[in-house]
Amino acid sequence: MVVVENLSKTFKKEEKEKGLRGSLKSLFSPNIKEVKAVDGINFSVEEGQILGFIGPNGAGKSTAIKMMTGILTPSAGRCIINGYIPYKNRRQYVKEIGVVFGQRTQLWWDLPLCETFEVLKEIYEIEESVYKRNIEMFNEIFQLEEIFYKPVRTLSLGQRMRADIAAAMIHNPKVLFLDEPTIGLDVVMKDNVRNAVKKINQNLGTTVVLTTHDMSDIELLADKIVMIDHGKMIFEGDTLELKEIYGDGTLEEIVKKIYCRGNQ
C-alpha cells in the first residue's frame, strides 16, 4: 500500500541579475529564493491498484516520484510504502520496489540481456528456483525469447522497454514505478507494453504507479488518477469521477482543459 501525507519538496534557487554587476553581486550577496516543486500532496494507493499519476511538464511529478522511490528526502510530510519510509529504510526498501525511468535504461549496454538478468539476480540475492520461475514467466509475458541472448545495445526501443520492465520485476517487488513507459514507441509497441503491465498487475497483484503524458495509457490501465499542477494536487479519483466533475469529452480533452485553467 502507498500512503502519501502532506508531501512537500522545496529547492533553493539563486536568481542572478543580468550583466557583470549582477555576476559580482551574486558572489557576495546571492539572491536565494525557495521554489516549491511539490506542495503538500495527499493520496493513497491500495495494494494491487494501478495509479495514473499525471500533470503537465514541471508540475512536480518527477520530484514526487523521486521522493516515493527514496532518491530525494521530503522537505515536509512523508510517504509510507509497504510499511517503509523510503528515504530512511533505503537499503531494505529497494528490494520492495521496481523502477523504470522512461528512456533511461537500467540494463548493461554491452551485455546480452540474459547476463544482465544474472547480474541482477546476484544483486538482489534471488534464489535459483525463484529466478528460473520468474525468467519463464517474463519470457511469456514480455516475449523475451527472441532477444534474450542479444546485447542490449542492439535492441529496439520497444524491446528494451519490455526488457527494462522485466528487469525491474525480477526480484518480485510489491510496487512498480513506471515513468513514461510508452514514450517514443509506435502503436504496436505501446500495446505490447500496456498488455505486459496489465498481466503483471493481474497475475502478481503488483501495485503500479504510472506517470505518463499519453492519456491512452491512463484510460487502458489506471484504476485511479491523481493529477497535480504547480506542485499541488488538483484531482484524486477515477476516470468516471473526472468526467462527472469536468464534463464530457475524451480524457485527453478534459485533461487539456484542466491544464489550461490552471495556467490562466
**CA-based angle 103:252:264, to the nearest 5?**
100
Identify the burial level of 45 via C-beta atoms within 10 angstroms of its C-beta, where 0-12 means exposed, 13-18 middle and 19 or more buried.
buried
Q: Does any domain span residue 103?
A: no
Asked if residue 139 lies in contact with residue 131, where contact means CB atoms within 8 angstroms, the answer is: no
Residue 204 included in any domain: yes
* pLDDT at residue number 192: 85
Residue 118 lies in a domain: no
Other CB atoms within 10 A of residue 159 CB: 20
Is residue 51 situated within a structural domain?
A: yes
Structural domain span for residue 252 = 2-20+28-96+173-262
Weakly modelled stretches of the chain, pLDDT under 50: none
pLDDT value of residue 22: 62
What 75-78 contacts at long range (C-beta under 8 Å, 24+ apart), as own/partner pairs, is: 75/8, 75/9, 75/10, 76/6, 76/7, 76/8, 76/10, 76/40, 77/4, 77/5, 77/6, 77/7, 77/8, 77/40, 77/41, 78/5, 78/6, 78/7
Q: 174: closest CA among 80, 249, 73, 42?
A: 80
CA distances from 84 to 79, 95, 143 (A): 8, 11, 33
Can you give the pLDDT at residue 263? Answer: 60
CATH (domain of 15) = 3.40.50.300
* Count of domains for the chain: 1
Angstrom distance (rounded) from CA 242 to CA 129 = 45
Q: What is the pLDDT of residue 35?
A: 86
Strands in the chain per DSSP E? 2-15, 31-45, 50-54, 76-81, 97-101, 175-179, 207-211, 224-229, 232-237
State the pLDDT at residue 185.
Answer: 82
pLDDT in the model for residue 5: 95
Q: Is residue 113 part of a domain?
A: no
The verdict on residue 160 lying in a domain is: no
**CB atoms closer than 10 angstroms to residue 15:** 10
Q: Is residue 111 part of a domain?
A: no
Q: Is residue 78 part of a domain?
A: yes
Please write down the HEC assignment for all residues of 43-71. EEECCCCEEEEECCCCCCHHHHHHHHCCC
- What are the CA-CA distances from residue 56 to residues 10, 97, 255 (Å)? 19, 25, 9
